[in-house]
């Protein structure tokens, strides 16, 4: 149908690697499941403020700037995992 409509750019062969189990030789496929994420925004702000207020000390202190930058750019943390079968 793509070729009939003039939408086909090209057809070419390719090699596709399919993962298999070393032990059994069975094909390994991902089981797509819902992912669970923890929104780290609030805890990052609290941790960052604790360092600014002196309630939390970092050793050596020269890493405080790195810590602040890390807390400003923090992203949600994936707490689930994909299972492979």
pLDDT above 60 for 84: no
Q: What share of the chain has pLDDT > 90, as a percent?
A: 58
User: How far separated are the first and last CA of the chain, in Å rounded?
Assistant: 35
How far apart (Å, rounded) are the C-alpha atoms in residues 34 and 81? 9
Write out pLDDT tens, residues 5-33: 999 999 999 898 888 889 999 988 877 77
The chain-wide mean pLDDT, for the chain, equals 88
Q: For the chain, what is the domain count?
A: 1
Domain that holds residue 74: 2-84
Q: pLDDT tens for residues 37-69?
A: 999 999 999 999 999 999 999 999 899 999 999
Structure tokens at 50: 């604790």
């Amino acid at each position: 149908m793509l070729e009939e409509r003039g939408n086909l750019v090209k057809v070419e062969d390719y090699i596709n690697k399919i993962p298999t189990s070393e032990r059994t030789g069975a094909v390994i496929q991902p089981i797509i499941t819902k992912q669970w994420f923890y929104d780290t925004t609030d805890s990052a702000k609290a941790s960052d403020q604790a360092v600014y207020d002196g309630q939390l000390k970092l050793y050596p202190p020269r890493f405080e700037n790195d810590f602040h930058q890390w807390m400003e750019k923090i992203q949600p943390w994936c707490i689930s995992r994909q299972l492979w079968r």
